[in-house]
Structure 1
Amino acid sequence: MPLFPPSLDTRRWPDLVAEARALLPLESPQWTDHNHSDPGIAVLEMLAWLVDTDVYRASRVTDRHRRKLLALLGVHPAPPSAARVVLAVRTGPGAPPELPARLGFVAHGADAPIGLETSEAVPLTGASVVAAGTDDGTAERFGHTLGWTDHTPTLLAGTAVDALGPDPRAGAALVLGLDRALPAGTVLALYLDADTATTGGPDPGEAADTGPHHDARTVWEARAGGAWQPLADVVDRTGALTRSAAVRLRIGPAALPVEPLGAAGTRAWLRCRLDRGRHDAPPRVRRVLADAVEAVQATAAVGAYEVASTAVPAGAATPVEGARMALAITVDGARVVRTLRTDDPAAPVVRILRWIAPTPAAHGRLVAELVAAGVGDGAPEQTFTLPGGAIAPDGPTPGPHRVWLADPAGGVEPVRLVPDLDAAGRTDLHAVLDAATGTLTFGDGRAGRVPESGRTVLAAYRTTSGARGAALAPPAPVRVAPDARTRVLPAGPPAPGALTVTLVGPATGGTDAEDTAAAAARAERGLWAHERLVDALAAADAHSLDELPRAAVLRLAAPERAVTLAGVERCALATPGTRIARVRAFADTDPRLPGLVAAGCVSVVVVPSLPRGRPEPTAGLLRAVRRHLAGLRTTGTRLFVTGPRYVVVAAEVTVALLPGADPSVTAAAVRAALETFLHPITGGPRGTGWPFGRDVHRSEVLRVVDEAAGVDHVTALALRADGGPAGCGGLCVPPTALVVPGEHVVRAVRAGAAR
């Protein structure tokens, strides 16, 4: 059902008058004059009209009402979001040593140029990653002929690979080769593009995870003098290679020379080695780039003004082109600067892009990342429009102040931006910013203060193209923006051909402002998340989300509270920073008391993808899931987060060969078929993992063996559990346990010998 139902039907007031007049003989028989001339009838008509009006007004739900109702649910329409892209920079003659943060670029989209800004400063070395491979921890002993997997053509083509191998252990490493040596002290900026499509990922809307991995720890090393040297000055945001992020490395005193590395070739070598701990799933990487930087599809708003000849800068410092400094200005109706101050600590700190001091005979010129939106007139509910279109969020944690009031007599007051003015007092300098249109609305003197006459409204913000930026993708050309910000670079504008910038993959994110209907739909998905899980279970006739395809489960929203068993399972899968393959929740179960009913207890069994043969969660994974569920559980529920209990199943089987079949090859095929069928992640009757508590049936094992390549028929089969005696029947599995393949004994004989 919709969150906001349609408005109620209203009755016309003449119908109400007719109904009241029909009741008069019953309620007041002495009242006989029912004509319009009777004062009582006139009163009835007036009351009917008032009731009709009130009913009409009560049945109208305005957009403002919807927003307030959504706010009660903790939901606010989302502002526009800026798309993010990765830029690969190649240097030429005359290239600067570093690209500063918030440097502007222009990408040519499908219909119009789109502005970009670098998220952080990036040093330029001119190096490129031209070789890559995986060392399983033993390649060094064999000269990189064994234990070594060359990923160079795959990574250069942008195809995902297992960065540390399919089953990484401590010592495994991603080895990267650069095309040139780097001197000591060089800062190298790498960007690692991780692939999470096969291992899951954060739910949409989940805050970006920037902390370390919950268990795995990696170290970066450089090869010099035939040995690996650890790098001490490293900033790695990839979470042990599990997410796309930047890596900053400072080359140590031994420098980074070009030298041979066995069969891997001669390059300048770096590596990221798994030092300790374990991943939940093999980290996968699509590409690793040097001299790459993340850019956001947002550009700082710039104001350009004439400075009156009488405007003398007040303060200890005069504006300096390229510098960031506190700046407060006031303008007149013609947008000419009348006063300018650089000594007010409450003033916004902005970058000066152009400054020509005024003279008694001529106006000056000021260009800065500061917009004078207008001048207050003292009227209530003043509105100002910030130029540039949609307003982008100001970083991951936007502050409350991006708007200020400047007084010509001196002084700057910050304006607090709020969702609405309902709670604002008459002295509160609050305003409402519509990020979609850039409209800024102040109060009326009762709810929110009115900007006084003559005060200038200043704003520092960034604009974005929203969903248009999400369409950016190679081979869209990118160039440095030819604007005032480029002109004030420390080394000046780059020379033609000094920088070649390309997009690395398509943009991520980028949305337009959310309207009330979209916010209501989002709130509805959150409110009915439990019902969606129940419906999915009913449609599949399942008792647990573990019985459904994992991709279908991840498409269902995680509920805000873990109330039902399905809700517990979905919330566990959504634990930030984890890559969980399977989760199963059991009610009234305490793992310390197997077989007994434990009222109020819920056991949550977590199964990762690693180690491949026998997946076991690490202590860090269990701790992360336990911490996440602790804030979502219902009061009085005891949650136990554990790993799976395994029943080791081994088969002793004799098979008759098909004519011409090789005994050793057939025996290997039978073992592989048994291991696949009994695997806790990829096994089971449907190939989605062995179901919890499902017995091993002899007939199914016979079918699996009989379908193996080279098998004519099965002549003998015995199954054993946990090293016990072999039997001719099936095996029982406890309700909370899984199976895992053991050591199988397979005999492959000729058909005649089998008889």
Structure 2
Amino acid sequence: MSIIVPELDDIGYREFREESEARLPKDAPRWSEHNLSDPGITFLEMLSWLSDIELYRLNRITPKHLQKFLALLGDHYPSARASKGMIVSTEGVSSDIKIDVGTAIEMEINQRKRVFRTKNRFCGNPAKIDRIDVFRESELFISRRVDSGEIEPFYAFGEEPKEENFFRLILNGIPSKDLNLYIELDESNLPSYNQEWRDDYLWLQEHDSIKLEWYITIDDVTYWIEPKEDKSLNLRYSGMVSFTIDKPISSSAKVLIICRLKNSSYMIAPFIKNIYLNSIEIEQSEAIVERITSSGEANQELTLGHESLLDAKGSGVAIEVESGGKIESWRRVDTLQNSKEEDRDFIYDNTTQKVLFGDGQRGSIAPYGDTIICKYLITRGESGVVANRADSWTIKGFEALNFYNPRGINGAESIPSYERRFATIIERWKTPTQAVTLEDYETLAKMTAGLRVARVKAFVDKQKKNCVAVVVVPYSRGDYPMPDDFFCRRVCRFLDSRRLITTVIDVIKPIYTEVGITLHIKIHAHFDMGRVRRDSVEAIDEYLHPLRGGDDKSGWEFGRGVYVSDIYALVESIEGISCIFDISFHGEGTYDNRKKVYTIEKKSLIRSLVHRVTFEKSSLACGGAL
């Protein structure tokens, strides 16, 4: 039940004045002159007016109050989200060109200039990718030319990746010593996942069960090269793969880059959308510099001129004070309580977006007349979105280079309203952070960073003390996905920090019980038996599917048996079937004749065997067969 918010501002100026005048005969009987010209009445009117104002203020919930309430609920840092993306060069770039992190890039969006900044260091590469060849079982399977920087998407190691399959990039030109390949995967039809996996990057690299080997071939001589950084995590995600080429390459050399699969455990085969040699990751942010003359007062406050800080915590806010041509940097601290008189410290209050200085005892006072320089980054939120390809990117200091964005620059979001922030907190409260119930384990397992977990079933393992067994099924393009050991370890590692202290977690693979169904049916005249057979088998396969099956199409329920009535209701809706004479089961389960159900273990899902369909050709009438 929600709390009823009281209405405090329920009377106004007139009510205050009338009530006060009505009390005068009792509280001040000697005061007999109540005309408007009486000075006492003037004071009474003024006090009624002040009371009305105070009551109005008491009844209001100001933005400052809302921010304090949100801070109590854990929402300390309201911020806009910057649009992010990638730009690439339309041609080879000289290896002498180096662009540092944070370099400004200008772009005109809807007749407004927007400033972006680079997120990675760019090293020019004069080479271009001329052709991509894909080999399966040592045989050339695909050969595609790269036209204007675009290619037709392809499976890197096949739809079902096999060890020793590889692809190679045939370069036109000589690559620079610093070689950066941005590999973009096509993930358009895949479910979303928790993208905070990079926080655990080193552990993932050490324990990864997928092994790739990279080589460079120079004039038919092949050398092994090791990535110095692989943000794609062995082509699991879109990201940059960086190398240092320390082999001498002549100007006329033929150069190939080869990626070979040595150990495969992909849940989803990498489907490469494009590969770029000269690419820069960018985000929309602008550097703001404000110059304010110091008042020289103790506890001086300055309000920043922009709200949409790129980092709402204010960690990027820098303060400098210019005095007599000399500029000195001040230090940001969380509190001035420990600052001394000579300490040049300041506080940034993110709730009010104010910079606070000391009082001369706890923190120095910015001297009168000196110039206070405030530096910080802001983002323009949704106005920084570039929906389509654009070719007019201008990098400050490198105006001669031509860059374009092959995909949209998206992901921006303006500062959310207070209502939306409260709604987000409520939704966050509904999501467990500690695994207590079995439902908590199932919810949290699906949130494992970097994994697409399709199905989870948690239950108490009574054979082990204090043990919760968690069955996980990965998302896969295949029909019967099976996680590898690495997948299970990652889920277990994610749950381990969220379990109760005495609980033991056992993340296990699903068991698939093979089940086949035989139908004996009669069809309507003039219907094709082959088509009816195909439709029946496809309907049963889909109904029993571990990811898409069941009545709600969210996957067949763990441990649920197959009832005769389930199949009867499913098949009789297929066009062309007149009636069903018999339904029988075969496979690894057990048929309970009394309950008319084919049972499986509680940890199990169903793997369909070959389903059989036979037809009744006689004139036997329908009805009563089951």
TM-score, with normalisation over the residues of structure 2? 0.76
For residues 89-488 of structure 1, what are the structure 2 equivalents within 5 Å?
Answer: 89-91=89-91, 96-132=96-132, 135=135, 139-141=136-138, 143-144=139-140, 148=141, 162-173=155-166, 175-180=167-172, 182=174, 186-202=177-193, 211=201, 212=204, 215-222=208-215, 224=217, 229-251=223-245, 253=247, 269-276=256-263, 278-300=265-287, 373-380=291-298, 382=300, 392-393=309-310, 399=315, 402-405=318-321, 408=324, 412-416=328-332, 429-432=345-348, 440-442=355-357, 449-453=364-368, 455-471=370-386, 473-475=388-390, 477-481=392-396, 486=397
User: What secondary structure sits across from 1:581 in the alignment?
Assistant: strand
Distance 1:605 1:426, change over 3 A: same
Give the Cα separation in 2 of the matches to 1:673 and 1:156.
43
Amino acid corresponding to residue 137 of structure 2 in structure 1: E
Give the Cα separation in 2 of the matches to 1:57 and 1:447.
33
Instruction: Work out whether residues 309 and 379 of structure 2, in 8 Å CA contact, stay in contact via their aligned partners in 1.
Output: yes
User: What secondary structure sits across from 2:562 in the alignment?
Assistant: coil
> Which residue of the partner structure matches residue 517 of structure 2?
651
Query: Aligned-pair distance for 1:576?
Result: 1.3
> Which residue of the partner structure matches residue 740 of structure 1?
607
Query: Aligned-pair distance for 1:125?
Result: 2.4
Give the Cα separation in 1 of the matches to 2:357 and 2:384.
31
Query: Aligned-pair distance for 1:575?
Result: 1.8
User: What secondary structure sits across from 2:385 in the alignment?
Assistant: helix
Distance 1:227 1:652, change over 3 A: farther
Residue of 536, 543, 547 corresponding to 1:677:
543
Instruction: Work out whether residues 227 and 241 of structure 2, in 8 Å CA contact, stay in contact via their aligned partners in 1.
Output: no
Amino acid corresponding to residue 214 of structure 2 in structure 1: E
Distance 1:166 1:713, change over 3 A: farther
Instruction: Work out whether residues 95 and 123 of structure 2, in 8 Å CA contact, stay in contact via their aligned partners in 1.
Output: no
Query: Aligned-pair distance for 1:578?
Result: 1.0
Amino acid corresponding to residue 366 of structure 2 in structure 1: P
> Which residue of the partner structure matches residue 527 of structure 1?
426
> Which residue of the partner structure matches residue 332 of structure 1?
none
Query: Aligned-pair distance for 1:290?
Result: 1.9
> 1:550-584: per-residue Cα shift (whole Å, max 9, x none)?
xxxxxxxx454556655543333222111111224
Amino acid corresponding to residue 246 of structure 1 in structure 2: M
Instruction: Work out whether residues 89 and 278 of structure 2, in 8 Å CA contact, stay in contact via their aligned partners in 1.
Output: yes
> Which residue of the partner structure matches residue 539 of structure 1?
none
For residues 687-726 of structure 1, what are the structure 2 equivalents within 5 Å?
Answer: 687-701=553-567, 717-722=583-588
Amino acid corresponding to residue 85 of structure 2 in structure 1: V
Instruction: Work out whether residues 195 and 243 of structure 1, in 8 Å CA contact, stay in contact via their aligned partners in 2.
Output: no
% identical aligned pairs: 21
Give the Cα separation in 2 of the matches to 1:2 and 1:75.
21
> 1:59-87: per-residue Cα shift (whole Å, max 9, x none)?
33332222222222221242344322211
User: What secondary structure sits across from 1:87 in the alignment?
Assistant: strand
Aligned length: 605
User: What secondary structure sits across from 1:626 in the alignment?
Assistant: helix
User: What secondary structure sits across from 1:731 in the alignment?
Assistant: strand
Give the Cα separation in 1 of the matches to 2:16 and 2:362.
39
Amino acid corresponding to residue 189 of structure 1 in structure 2: N
Give the Cα separation in 2 of the matches to 1:378 and 1:122.
44
Query: Aligned-pair distance for 1:642?
Result: 3.5
Residue of 490, 508, 511 corresponding to 2:410:
508
> 1:250-291: per-residue Cα shift (whole Å, max 9, x none)?
3464969999xxxxxxx9643444433523434444322221
Give the Cα separation in 2 of the matches to 1:70 and 1:115.
31
**Within the alignment, does 1:574 sit opposite 2:447 as a pair?**
yes
**Within the alignment, does 1:35 sit opposite 2:29 as a pair?**
yes
User: What secondary structure sits across from 1:651 in the alignment?
Assistant: strand
> Which residue of the partner structure matches residue 309 of structure 1?
none
> 1:97-137: per-residue Cα shift (whole Å, max 9, x none)?
444443333222112122223222222324334544655xx
User: What secondary structure sits across from 2:274 in the alignment?
Assistant: strand
Distance 1:134 1:93, change over 3 A: closer
> 1:705-752: per-residue Cα shift (whole Å, max 9, x none)?
7788999987764313426689894312455532222x4264768947
> Which residue of the partner structure matches residue 623 of structure 1?
489
CA-atom RMSD in angstroms? 5.2
Structure 2, unpaired ranges of 5+: 33-39, 622-626
Instruction: Work out whether residues 656 and 714 of structure 1, in 8 Å CA contact, stay in contact via their aligned partners in 2.
Output: yes
> 1:456-498: per-residue Cα shift (whole Å, max 9, x none)?
43444444433221245313522333xxxx1xxxxxx56x5xx
Structure 1, unpaired ranges of 5+: 25-30, 260-266, 302-370, 487-492, 532-557
Amino acid corresponding to residue 330 of structure 2 in structure 1: P
Give the Cα separation in 2 of the matches to 1:422 and 1:718.
79
